[in-house]
Amino acid sequence: MALEIRHNRAEHAHENFQFRRIAQGLDAFFEQKGWDGLLIGNPESEDFSRFRADAILIYNHGFLIIDLKDYQGNIELPKHDDDFGMLAWYNESEKDKTRLEIKGGARFLNPFRQLKSYRQVMYDIINSNLFLKDNINPSRTCALNLFSGAIQLNRETPRNIPYYKITQESDFYDFLYDYNSPNTYSKEVADALNNIFPAPIWEAHHEVQIEEEIAPKRIYEIDGDVENEIKSFLQEEGSGILVLESMDYSKRDDWMRYILSESATYNIPQTETWTHSTRIRRKIKLRSGIAPDSLFNTIYGGKSDTKEDKNSDVEEDNNEETEDLIEVIPIKSDDLLDKSAVVILQEAHLVSRSLHQSELLRFGSGRLLEDLILFLDLESTNRKLICIGDPFSLSYGNDEESGIALETLKELFKGKIQLFRQTPQRTNTTGIHKQRVSLATSINDKVFNKLLYGWNTTDVLQSNKSNSLALLKQWFSKPLTAEPTQSVLFFTNDLALSTNIWIKKNCLNNSSDLAIGDLLLLNNNVNIPDDTGFGNPARLYNGMYIVVKETSEPHTETIIINKQSKQQITLQYIKLKVQCLSLENKQDAEIWLNDTYFKSNGKLSKEEQIALRIFTSKKLKSFKKANPFEQSGEFKALQQNSQNALLKKQIENFTRQLASGEKVKGKLNEAEVNYRKLENKYKRKYNHRVLMEILSNDPILNAINATYGWCTTVHKAVGSVFQDIIINAKQGEFNGVGNASYFRWLYSGLSTAQSRVYVSNPIEIDPFMDCQFEDVVEDGWRENITRQNNSFEFDDFEIPERFSGALTSELNQNAKAAICLFAESIEKSGVLLERTQKSGDYISKAYFSTPNNGVGDLVMIFNNNGSGKVTSIRPERNGEAIMEFIEKGISNILSLSNNETTDEVSFPDDFRKEIYKDLIERSIQIDSELKLVKSHDYHDIFVLLKGDSKVKFRLGYNGSGMFTSVKVLAKSNSNISIELHNLFFADE
């Protein structure tokens, strides 16, 4: 067979060049030696994304993990063995003696730490596969740094790490000849590695060669404020959490790049970048070029535990397995993560503490964020977690339980948590950006009283039914040959399904049933095995797109879920030939579709979930019958365990002694219990392996869960990017819009579009939409003397000397001032102040003589509140005859009160601020002047001036940021009242 060479093209040209040199040489060398082997360049696995070696090689004499280094000259390694993985390596130039640091990629301090990590991941890879586990000894896997050379080392590698080697390209062939280990090539091992690391066949010759561009190291410039936050956090000793928030994904990606580029500066031994899932990993990689690791593949995969979840609706039968199996994938050991590592959690807003599990599988506790904090063990290590996310986006779960929700993080971690939030800023002129900023500002301020669309002809367009249907025909009249660049977003799956069916009938004209040309969106992860030996095995992931090329035979499984009632559930499947649009090579594949899931539009009933579990249990039982534990590798390992022979010997001896009358029954029971524990340990490993094997390889259990892909929900689209979208902005009759949930949903939908957003059924919110206008006062500026809501206070009021003798000292300062101002006004009518009296805590009385009117003494009441402010003024006795003079006196107080001046007061610093500024700007446009003269809780007082006309009015508002009323208090004429109405409601 000679050497099989496969290669995934690397991002950097020099890596492709170096691999080509090595591959060409090895191809000839293996042919000369008659060796067999498999070389995979740039091996990539979504399931083991932490493994990022430049190549792997399995051949007649060993298994190698290879990392390529394009350096030559003197290589300066740490002098002491203890520092070999803890200090930086350097490449020294012989010409000018300059030193260049040799890093272990972007994540590790030096190349040894990098390869050590990859080798540890390879342990998990080997143990996860039956063929590899039986044929490859991970402890005898070689980790090799292969330098382009020629190189001179200042020392040999430490003897306590015999698995690690350093060599150069010119010596590589001698190394392969001299190296020898029990690990050897076989077709089964090669097929297993090809399945885990799918890659196309390497082409030895191309007509055009890409020239390498040598560019200086990029400096990632970020805002000074966040840079200081990051530096301060990285410099601190001990563990901690830093939360970085921005609505701009390019900012978030720059922060990630900056941390990766700067981490070595702070001697951080390991820097990891993780994200929610493989689906989100793909999205980040496409936009940024950096591929974080999936949390599900990174923190889960420890020793499995299968739970028997008994359901009351299922009758147990001793002769048949009908239990509901939930495979629990426990949290891994944290051995691969340095105790001082920094972990970047990118798109942390998608990682939630909310419970999630499927019908057959649960990862850890089912609460991803909680398991992450447990895995990191921040309390007992010096690890640091940096959560980078969008604070305004939807999450995969409760928004208040996401990886950037401070209260949730405080519950999970008792140490120091720092926050940096970049406030929404209009740094972009596009309409989509402005619309997102408006929504983000409302979410940030927790005020949801304004939702207006900045309609334009470029990127934010209102789309009626006719226009939306025309766009669907324009976008989807032909089967797609690549991932869709347009999408239609709804609130519910049912709404999306209706439009998907319309597209089938009216755009593709292929009926309402599943047909050729249909676009499907996956909702689970599945394997596509290669049964022929000539294709590329592949794996499809949640969020990928496929297009139907052919439909073939159906398959049904009828399951009895309740023997007493004979209740049956039929599970339906259909075999499809599809093209995988989301894979780079867009390969064709044959795969089964879970038609029950598909026809129920992405949800299984409780009874269907039970049936699926019973069906899986039957498959498991059948597989175990054909592949019993006694013939398994786990049973073989049990027999080879030294404790097995020892316990069996003890049981045999204790049984013989018990038969002879010796009192060893307790010891016998203990030995039998210990043996059962040991046996159960290996049976659990066996059960886990066979269950995962049938879930991965059984063609029916490995069926895809899918829905139509042209239209989907906003929740499903979170993290995706399209050029254009149509979004139906109406959620439903009973869903409110003036709340955080709606604004966050709409923001997330708009965030998926790069070029154009077509908004169907837009709902606009205006803070004055329910505001009532009231004008019942007569023309002529006159204060209302009966108002009880006014309160007057008089700062630094000087008591006129002529009144000082009439004022009792018991009165408060505001009452004295009000009485004096009233007396000054009314004395012109011959009414004179004689004396005053305090009557309780809230009433002051003033007694006036009326010598020229013959009506008797006038008694006025001046009420005050608990803070001493005068709240009302009214006559108590003998006021009827001189009411005209009394009204003038009260008007004098109103006009002179500090509270009722027409000078502007400071604007409130809340949601009203921008709205009031906008009203003032609008008043200027109509040649008027609007002044805020008093600010109260839940209402403010304004005066609108235009020429010689003026109107005073009260503007009421509520706690949710909506204005409730405009009430005219006084006006000079009716025309100014009309101007006021137009100021608020001209657009109606």
Per-residue pLDDT tens digits for 829-858: 888 899 999 988 889 999 988 866 555 788
DSSP per-residue string spanning 499-525: HHHHHIIIII---SS--TT-EEEE-S-
**323 has pLDDT over 90:** no
Contacts of 201 (CB under 8 A, 6+ apart): 4, 5, 6
- 761 or 538: whose pLDDT is higher? 761
What is the CB neighbour count within 10 angstroms for residue 988?
9
What average pLDDT score do residues 126-143 get? Answer: 87
* Strand 753-760 with 722-728, pairing: parallel
For the ranges 34-48, 807-821, 825-839, 888-902, the lowest mean pLDDT is seen at 888-902
Give just the sign of the alpha carbon dihedral 742, 747, 753, 757. positive
- Cα 568 to Cα 595: distance, rounded to the nearest angstrom: 17
**218 has pLDDT over 60:** no
**788 has pLDDT over 60:** no
Whether 919 contacts 767, CB under 8 Å: no
Ordered by where they begin, the domains of the chain are 3-196 (no CATH), 224-422 (3.40.50.300), 424-517+705-765 (3.40.50.300), 801-896 (3.30.310), 902-985 (no CATH)
What is the CB neighbour count within 10 angstroms for residue 502?
16
3-state secondary structure of 412: helix
pLDDT of residue 936: 81
Burial class for 733, CB neighbours closer than 10 Å (0-12, 13-18, 19+): exposed
pLDDT of residue 12: 76
Residue written as tokens 């049976």?
Answer: 683
pLDDT of residue 884: 78
Among 900, 583, 521, which Cα is nearest to 713's? 521
**210 has pLDDT over 60:** no
**677 has pLDDT over 50:** yes
Confidence of residue 202 (pLDDT cuts 50, 70, 90): confident
Q: What is the pLDDT of residues 870-889, one digit of tens each?
A: 888 888 888 877 787 888 78
pLDDT of residue 599: 92
Contacts of 620 (CB under 8 A, 6+ apart): 321, 325, 690, 691, 694
Helix H or strand E segment including 581:
none
Confidence of residue 216 (pLDDT cuts 50, 70, 90): very low
Burial class for 831, CB neighbours closer than 10 Å (0-12, 13-18, 19+): buried
- Cα 982 to Cα 986: distance, rounded to the nearest angstrom: 4
Confidence of residue 900 (pLDDT cuts 50, 70, 90): very low
The beta strands (E) that lie in 299-449 are given as: 305-308, 325-329, 342-346, 361-363, 384-389, 417-421
Torsion over CA of 625, 628, 629 and 633, rounded to 10 degrees?
A: -140
- Cα 671 to Cα 905: distance, rounded to the nearest angstrom: 87
CA atoms within 13 A on the CB side of 631: 6
pLDDT of residue 537: 57
Confidence of residue 904 (pLDDT cuts 50, 70, 90): low
**309 has pLDDT over 60:** no
**440 has pLDDT over 50:** yes
Structure tokens at 776: 């019942």
Confidence of residue 509 (pLDDT cuts 50, 70, 90): very high
For the ranges 202-216, 358-372, 594-608, 623-637, the lowest mean pLDDT is seen at 202-216
**521 has pLDDT over 50:** yes
What average pLDDT score do residues 766-794 get? Answer: 72
- Cα 50 to Cα 298: distance, rounded to the nearest angstrom: 7
Burial class for 310, CB neighbours closer than 10 Å (0-12, 13-18, 19+): exposed
- 95 or 279: whose pLDDT is higher? 279
Whether 901 contacts 933, CB under 8 Å: yes
Order of all β-strands in the sheet with 567-580? 588-594, 567-580, 545-562, 519-522, 706-708
Confidence of residue 566 (pLDDT cuts 50, 70, 90): confident
pLDDT above 70 covers a percentage of the chain that reads: 90
Contacts of 881 (CB under 8 A, 6+ apart): 853, 855
Mean pLDDT, rounded, of the chain: 86
pLDDT of residue 536: 55
Confidence of residue 360 (pLDDT cuts 50, 70, 90): low
**587 has pLDDT over 80:** yes
- 118 or 203: whose pLDDT is higher? 118
- 562 or 728: whose pLDDT is higher? 728
pLDDT of residue 311: 38
pLDDT of residue 385: 97
Backbone angles phi, psi at 323, to 5 degrees: -70, 150
For the ranges 301-310, 610-619, 928-937, the lowest mean pLDDT is seen at 301-310
Whether 182 contacts 137, CB under 8 Å: yes
What letter would DSSP give residue 222? -
Confidence of residue 514 (pLDDT cuts 50, 70, 90): very high
What average pLDDT score do residues 948-958 get? Answer: 91
pLDDT of residue 505: 94
What average pLDDT score do residues 599-612 get? Answer: 88
Among 813, 789, 905, which Cα is nearest to 868's? 813
Q: How far from each other are the two terminal CA atoms of the chain, in whole angstroms?
A: 81
Q: What is the pLDDT of residues 444-490, one digit of tens each?
A: 888 899 899 999 999 999 999 999 999 999 999 999 999 999 999 99
- Cα 938 to Cα 944: distance, rounded to the nearest angstrom: 20
**What is the three-state SS of 175-211?**
HHHHCCCCCCCCHHHHHHHHHHCCCCECCCCCCCCCC
**36 has pLDDT over 50:** yes
